[in-house]
Amino acid sequence: MGAHLRVGAPGTASRRSALDTEGVPRVATAADVPALAALRVAMFDAMGVDSSGAEFQARCTRWFAEHLDDPDVRIVVADGPEGMPVSCAVAQVRAAPPSPSGPSGEVATIFNVVTLAAYRNRGYAAACFDAVLDWVDGRSDVQMTELLATPEGRGLYSSRGFVTHPHPLMRRRGIPRLV
């Protein structure tokens, strides 16, 4: 995974995605929370990361339920032909200290861009991604948007103005505390 960064907001008209079937992105509701947790598990499974634990799934379910109405979070899903979510994307805006590339200090992170395997390559993820990116671009306070990209997602993100950041992301794992 590489860290990607987008500064500024190019016009959104060229970023529209066409879908084969239903799949029009919509803001997630409480009824979608179980599917959102399942999609997050599917995302990690696709990346080869074990996410099968019941505690992890419960934490995901809680997080989505708690953030549905958060004004700094946008959670979008696209339904498949059966009427159930098969894809999603999430954007979250956070306050950070001002920087030369983000003087407002408001930074958006896009994450959890995923489509169930049986529905991939039909435009669902692109449509969800574009919906959350449009939401971010509509917020005048956000001057920088970040994401982590898998090799499969890089083409989509690059086509929307994201570039690899010259300073790589580094992480340190803490000791998990189960509550």
Secondary structure (DSSP) of 68-137: TT-TTEEEEEEE-TTSSEEEEEEEEEEE---BTTBTT-EEEEEEEEEE-GGGTTSSHHHHHHHHHHHHHH
Percent of the chain with pLDDT over 70: 87
Q: What is the pLDDT of residue 179?
A: 63
pLDDT of 20 > 60? The answer is no
Q: Which is more confidently placed, 67 or 169?
A: 67
CA angle 135, 152, 122 (to 5 degrees): 70
CATH topology of domain 2-164: Aminopeptidase (3.40.630)
Q: What is the pLDDT of residues 68-124, one digit of tens each?
A: 999 999 999 999 999 999 999 999 999 999 988 888 999 999 999 999 999 999 999
Per-chain mean pLDDT for the chain: 87
pLDDT of 13 > 50? The answer is no
pLDDT band at 141 (very low <50, low <70, confident <90, very high): confident
Q: What is the pLDDT of residue 165?
A: 87
Q: What is the pLDDT of residue 174?
A: 80
pLDDT of 2 > 70? The answer is no
- Helix H or strand E encompassing 55: helix 54-67
Could you identify the residue written with the tokens 């498949």? 80
pLDDT of 10 > 70? The answer is no
Q: What is the pTM of this model?
A: 0.84
pLDDT band at 5 (very low <50, low <70, confident <90, very high): low
